[in-house]
Structure formats: C-alpha cells, structure tokens
Structure 1
Amino acid sequence: MDFRFTDEQRLYRDTLRAFVDKEIVPVAREWEQSGRYPTEIVEGMKKLGLFGLAVPESYGGLAADTVSFALTFEEISRGWMGIAGILGSHSVSCFLLANHGTEEQKQRYLPELATGARRTGIALTEPGAGTDLQGIRTTARRDGDDYVIDGTKMWITNARHADPLPVLVKTDPSASPAHTGMSILLVEAGTPGFEVTADIGKLGYKGTESCEVVLDGVRVPSSQLLGGVEGRGLQQALSSLETGRINIAARSVGIAQRAYDEALSYAREREAFGRPIGDFQAVQQRLAQTAVRLQAARLMTYWAASRMDDGVRMDTESGMAKIFASEQALECALDAMRIHGGYGYSTEFEVERLYRDAPLMSIGEGTNDVLRGVVAKALLSGKATVR
C-alpha cells in the first residue's frame, strides 16, 4: 500500500494550505465569536474551484479524486470547521445530482454549482426523524404535472443559500417498506411556500447556518423529481452520504491536526517552574498520544478514500473511518485543552473552539452508535471483512 500523495495531490494540498493560512486562520476566532458570515472566504473558495469538487469535468467541475476531496476538508477544517460545512453539504448534493439526476437536471444545475454561482445543500433531517430517515413525514402528492410538498426539515446547512435544495419526501406515504415510497425533489429558492424560518443556535459549528425549513404547499414541476423516477430517494440519499462520511472523517482529522499544532506550540512556549511545560513527562505523554491519535485517524480516512477511488463499495470503510476519526478529534481537542490548562478554557485561544466543534463529528452523517451497528451487520453477513 502506498500512502504517499501524487505530485498533483501534493501541489493541491499546498495551495489549499496557503489559502487556509492566509484567508481563514487569521479571522476564524473573531468571526466565529461575532457571528459574522464568512462571505470573503466563500468567494475565495469559488476562485479555487472548490464548489466543483464533486462535479464532473464535462459540467465544468474539478471531478476531484476522493483522496483530494478528503484533503480539502482536512485543510479547511484545520482553519475553521464551520467553513468546511458550507462546502460539505454543497458537495454531497452535487454528488447526488451528478450520479442520480436526469441529463436535463445536470445541464440545468451542475455548471453553475461547479463555479459557486449557485450553491446547494440537502434536506433530509426532520424534527422527528434524524438517523431514521424512513420515519420522515414530509410528503409530496402528485397534482397534474406538479408535486405539492408539505413538511418541515431541520438542521439544514446552506438553507439560506441553496438553489436548488434537494428535499427527501414521501411520494407514497403508505408504501411498505417505507423506503419504496420515498423520493427526492429539487426545490428552487423563491418557490412560494418554501420558507427558512429560523437559524438554530449551536454549541459549535459556527460560520454556516443550520436552519429549520418549512414547506407549505410548495408546488414544483414533476421534472424536478431527481432521476425522474419515484421511490428511489432513500437509496439516492444514502449513496451520497458515503462521500459525506469521508468528508466528516477528514474534517475530524483537520480538527485533530489543529489541536495537535496548538498543543505542541503551547508546550514549547509556556513555562512553569522555570522551564517549558513540554519538559514535563505528563505533558509529553498527552502530546505523544495526540500525535498517535491524529496520524492513525488520518491513515484510516485516506484508506477509506482510496477504496472509493478504486471503485469498490465502501460504506463499511467510510463508516469505520468516520467513527474512528471523529472520536479521535474529540480526544485530541480535550487533551489540547488540558495541555493549555486554564487558558484552554478561554475564548482567547483556539482550543476552546476546537473543543466545541469536535462533538458534531460523532453525530453528523449518522451517529457513531448507529454506524457501529451498520459496520457490525456488514461483518456478520460477510459483506465486509477485516484482514
């Protein structure tokens, strides 16, 4: 196995790293605390072509390999994880359109999504249905050549900027099993009855909005049915979430990397009892463990990404990487805070933000407890092996 980057991937990483260090790192803490939307950073990501990561070249995108895709989320999250959320939901939706949309839908949306002229997200979660997507209550009834959507979605990233917003609905609420009656409809911004009603307050994950969306008699043409066929919505959504779990794992690596960087710098500079605290064994133990956790999470994440590039089904691998990397991010953020002592609890230092951002990684794109069940079932059925 070759864990080295290609020359192209290395150049791409260096370009991203320079962008993050110049445009994100200097402003992240101040903008996060003030609630300022990162408009200038978004414009910079557009110029780099990052909104086209998951868009095929034939539609003007980068068509990035999955390792480069992971690199993107690692580097941006090292600067500010919330910014990675703007790109993450957009990329999952672009993957959805590119792989499941009709040719008309691809031609209509993907070229502008690739440049960031349009942005998007994905509306799956509801007040009473998160991980259990078959429990959603949003419906779309057929009325002539249109669908009429009614329901509420929660925790929708990019909701105020998405155009279109793919919305998971039940086109046949009586279907059994439930997933056979689920579809995805592409709702354009400004459609009557479509309203973003509230921004949800959060512990961390600032910089991007997470919103409640109400759909009250929203009428969309039948041509907005993703793929043109009813009953495929859940499968379409789940296939796109495989890339979502790679991006969550990579974001976790970015958080862990920043936690390590901050802890290492502080251990070298902070003095106690007349010498740097890095001279003390207790600090050395935490620092070494952070480095081990970080590197193990990184290798597992890029292993899962490379499996996807090999063209094999990798829902188990992406789930394993997401579980492991997200939990290492939590541990690394906590140990960085402990190394900082009282200053780690201060909003004047970066580690406080990392500590607030890290928990979402174990919840988003499927909770780790649920994903453990998914992995276990794959192992027990023989569909996946560890050897």
Structure 2
Amino acid sequence: MRGLYCSSVDSLSGLSVRDLPDPVPGPGQIVVTVSTASVDYADTLIATGRYQIKVPPPFVPGNNFAGTVTETAPDVTAVAVGDRVHGMALVGAFAEKVAVDQHAVRCTPIGLSDELACLSGSGYRTAYDALVSTAFVERGENVVILGASGAVGSAAITIAKALGARVIACASTQDKLDFCRELGADVGVLYTGADFKDNLKTHCGGAADVVLDMVGGDYSEPALRATGYGGRFVVVGFAAGTVPRIPLNLVLLKGSTVKGYEIASFERHHPVQTRANREALERMLLDGRLTPPITARYDLDDAVDAVASVAGRDKFGVTVLQVTPRAQHSDNEPKELR
C-alpha cells in the first residue's frame, strides 16, 4: 500500500509518501481501506513530537478516516467485511489501509458521504462535546470562540449557530474574521489589539456567557475577564504555543466555571454521552444543519503538503486528504468554500 511515512519527529522533513507493508489485523482488529481522511492540527503535533501523547517513529500519521472494511480478525463481531465505516486512530489514517480496533469505528449511515463521515471525527466532535456537554450552551447565549477560523473553531461556529447561540468569533487577522462571518458568526473581533477584552464585552452586551479557547497564550485571561457572573470557560488547546496562567481571583469573583476538554479523556469517562453526541452530529450532517467548511483537498501523493499547510496557523477551515480517486467518493459531499 501507499502511505505517509514519518521517519523522524524532529520536523516535518521526516515525512514522505512511500510504499509500505499492508497492515495485518491483530485480535479484535479490522483493516479499513481508507477513502478519505481529515488533516487536523493534532496530526501535525504528533508528526513533530509535540503532542501530549508521544508516538515513537517510524509511524504513519493520521487520526480521522472513513472507508470500507476489507479484512477482520476471526474474533471480530462489531462489523463485517464490506461495511462502510468511519472512526479515529491516534495514527495510521494517512495510508490506503489502516488497522484499528473494531470498536474504534462506527458504521457510516446511508446517505452520509465518506468525506462528511470522516469530518465527524475529532474537530467536530471536539466542538460539539465542548459546547454541548462541557459548556452546556443554551439558545440565545453569547459564545466567544478563540481561534475561530481553524478546524475546531470553524466547526464550533456552525454548531453554536445550529444550537441557537450568538457567536463572537475571535481571530488574528481580518481575513480570518471575514471567513468566520461567511460561516455564520454574528461578530468578529481581532484578539491582537490592546482593547480585546473591552471589545468582547461590548459585542456581548456587557458579558460573555461561554468562552471556547483553542488558543491559550496572552488571549485567555482577557477572554475570561469578559465573561459575566457564572460564565463558563472551556479550555480546548494552546495553538499560541503558551499555556496561560490564570489569576484564580477572577474565577472567585465571577463565580466562573473553568473546565477542560480532551477528546480521549471525555470518551473514556463519558462513553454513553460520547455515543449520543456522535449520533447527533451524524444527524446534523445528514440533514444539512452542518456544512463543513472544506478549504483544501489533497491527494495522498501530496500528503506532505497537506500536513505542512495545516501546521501553519494561517490555515482556514478544514483540510481533507482524498486517499482514493475522486470518482470513488459519494456524491453527497459539502461544497468547497475556497
């Protein structure tokens, strides 16, 4: 098979597309012939050794995928050869075949394309779990999204709007804010200015109800200060590269709730809620309430360029790796915005 090979995590220079041995399913495992995979920021961190879970090289990067089961171990009962499935693996998805545990996949609903199915993975799952099951967003609330133009941020915009919230999208450039407005954000705020906190308060009518923070760094504290009494602040990541130190007196005085969200931990501790959320996401993708903002599609031979593009913080929206030829994809696919 062909796949993206990571020989070193020193930099992205350790990546190359090459011929690799086909995976063999171990006990409880299946082999999926991959149709589509999403390229997420976490994939770039894993490929450069900066993710919280370290993967020793060599390995094939790639987390979210969709495709068809082509081989199973004798003890597999959850799926069968020929089933269309989508799922997550820490690594392995950026190849023509991936071996995963049978419980790491879900059968893809009829009418849902492989491309949409793979996009229901980490980015949209993170946004949905963080908004619905961590922040408990309610209709009409003001939701501030830091890093709103990225994969998780753009997913959060569309989900929050579908839930009836008012979205204040925060990004570092006007181009990014324009993109967020295209997705449905009500307001765009640059977080690079000295008046960031005051701008947030102004656009939130005095106080934000919820903050979803994918950025960290110098922007977390002003966003927390912009929340009102009882505001909910959800930490998702630190794209700025710095973990902020938050004065706890702010939490005390504001009666705030500060919570963290990490996809693997959430799934481990809340398996029932995880399944319910995934089913809800699939329904929203099927009925068109969510239209992922795909801004780039790459073929497998260009996988190195795809990862490099997402590694740069100037990337908007969602990037997709088309592992099989375009003609083999379902017709039910989202429109490319740019």
> Which TM-score band applies after superposition, normalised by the shorter structure?
under 0.3
Q: Which has the higher helix share?
A: 1
Q: Which has the higher strand share?
A: 2
Relative contact order, CA 8 A, sep 6+: which one is greater? 2
TM-score by length of 1: 0.25
